[in-house]
């Protein structure tokens, strides 16, 4: 039996298999409002056979957007635009639905990737960014304002309000984005956090604000909704955030009631040197899983069915998440199930696509035609 296609529970949320669709920014929103593209894109992925779909990073405030085209959930209007998309996916697919709540911090106010992704200066239509410290992401970029106590409270409350809207939408899980050089990660890393107050300096202090945000979000939604965190396990820069600190942070999150940890890496500095290759981040996930016991999602150049099977069978991660591979092949879970001799969910409208050599791929099916 394929381990990849066995059920698994992340806290209160049971997954049909161990395949997740990682959050992928689409840069296709209008002032944060979901568009027709989101209906098509998310609806398409909802039919993939994966167990859980993470909606893209959704900004908790306007200044928290990476780009002007980012999806947002900082108002009831934003939630209302997502409601019919969520309802359509619920009608046609059993996939679990999660949202990644995000604030870009000093990496906000950027062009969309296909326009170069560079920082947009305030004089060129960008906006004032905020961060733990007044340090830009790269030389020549907008210098962020260091958040004071009032600003920290405002950010925390924005995460809470976004979490409450996410619950009202009927989503199954929330993932807080504390990876890839965005605001919560900026507090964790000594490369971006040079504060001298209770939120800077020692590891305990640098973890304080992300843990405060997590605790506030966890308290704002019922225990039937899973809440987890995505982290960068290392900055890939000497003197930065690393796996030792990530283990400690993950242990603190586990003690605070986190239902899962999603382990990525990098993003804090242009000086990073990442040894990219198949499964290059899985070792970090394996160590965090071993030292916390928390349900762990592994990610990073997972493209092949047997590769994913080996990761979960060895216990390196409980769930594997795919992003680019899923965009390239939105039926990746179907093809993986076929290769591994497993079964996967497919909508009845597509049952006729089942190849003759895989008669049980979609489970018990009945087809008749006149």
* Cα dihedral 329, 334, 340, 342 in deg (nearest 10): 160
pLDDT bucket at 353, cuts 50 / 70 / 90: very high
Report the b/e string of 324-334 with b at 16+ CB within 10 A.
ebbeeebbbbb
Residue 323 CA to residue 154 CA, distance in Å, equals 31
pLDDT in tens, 25-68: 999 999 999 999 999 999 999 999 999 999 999 999 999 999 99
For residue 118, what pLDDT is reported?
97
Cross-strand bridge partners of residue 266? none
pLDDT in tens, 217-231: 999 999 999 999 999
Write the DSSP symbol of residue 356.
Answer: T
Pick the catalytic residue from 182, 199, 280, 350.
Answer: 182
pLDDT in tens, 93-150: 999 999 999 999 999 999 999 999 999 999 999 999 999 999 999 999 999 999 999 9
pLDDT bucket at 177, cuts 50 / 70 / 90: very high
27 is catalytic: no
pTM of the model: 0.97
Closest CA to 182 of 255, 132, 121, 236: 132
Closest CA to 257 of 290, 229, 278, 277: 229
* Region 322-342 average pLDDT: 97
* Region 64-92 average pLDDT: 98
Residue 195 CA to residue 107 CA, distance in Å, equals 18
For residue 13, what pLDDT is reported?
98
Q: How many CA atoms lie within 13 A of 309 on its CB side?
A: 16
For residue 347, what pLDDT is reported?
95
- Residues 178, 233 contacting (CB under 8 angstroms): no
pLDDT of 366 above 90: no
For residue 365, what pLDDT is reported?
87
CA angle 180, 160, 208 (to 5 degrees): 55
Residue 167 CA to residue 287 CA, distance in Å, equals 31
pLDDT bucket at 289, cuts 50 / 70 / 90: very high
* Sequential DSSP letters for 37-65: HHHHHHHHHHTS--SEEEEEEEESSGGG-
């Amino acid at each position: 039996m394929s381990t990849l296609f066995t059920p698994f529970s992340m806290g209160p949320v049971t997954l049909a298999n161990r395949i997740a669709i990682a959050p992928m920014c689409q840069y296709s929103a209008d002032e944060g409002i979901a568009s027709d593209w989101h209906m098509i894109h998310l609806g398409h992925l909802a039919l993939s056979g994966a167990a859980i779909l993470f909606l893209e990073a959704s900004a908790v405030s306007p200044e928290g957007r990476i780009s002007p085209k980012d999806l947002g959930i900082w108002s009831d209007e934003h939630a209302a635009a997502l409601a019919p998309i969520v309802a359509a996916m619920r009608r046609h697919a059993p996939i679990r639905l999660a949202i990644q709540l995000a604030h870009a911090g000093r990496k906000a106010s950027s062009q969309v990737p296909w326009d170069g992704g560079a920082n947009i200066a305030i004089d060129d239509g960008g906006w004032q960014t905020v961060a733990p410290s007044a340090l830009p992401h790269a030389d020549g970029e907008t210098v962020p304002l260091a958040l004071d106590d009032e600003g920290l409270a405002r950010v925390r409350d924005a995460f809470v309000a976004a979490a409450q809207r996410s619950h009202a939408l009927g989503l199954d899980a929330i993932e807080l984005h504390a990876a890839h050089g965005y605001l919560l990660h900026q507090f964790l890393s000594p490369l971006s956090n040079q504060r001298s107050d209770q939120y800077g300096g020692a590891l305990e202090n640098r973890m304080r604000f992300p843990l405060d945000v997590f605790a506030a979000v966890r308290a704002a939604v019922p225990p039937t909704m899973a809440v987890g965190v995505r982290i960068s396990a290392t900055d890939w820069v000497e003197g930065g955030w690393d796996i030792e600190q990530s283990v400690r942070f993950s242990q603190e999150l586990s003690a605070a009631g986190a239902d899962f940890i999603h382990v990525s890496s990098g993003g804090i500095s242009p000086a990073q040197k990442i040894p990219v290759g198949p499964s290059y981040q899985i070792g970090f996930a394996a160590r965090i899983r071993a030292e916390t016991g928390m349900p762990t999602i592994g990610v990073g150049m997972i493209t092949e069915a047997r590769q994913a099977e080996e990761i979960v069978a060895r216990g390196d991660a409980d769930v594997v998440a795919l992003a680019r591979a899923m965009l390239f092949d939105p039926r990746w879970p179907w093809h993986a199930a076929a290769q591994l001799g497993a079964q996967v969910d497919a909508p009845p409208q597509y049952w006729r696509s089942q190849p003759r050599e895989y008669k049980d791929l979609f489970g018990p099916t009945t087809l008749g035609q006149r």
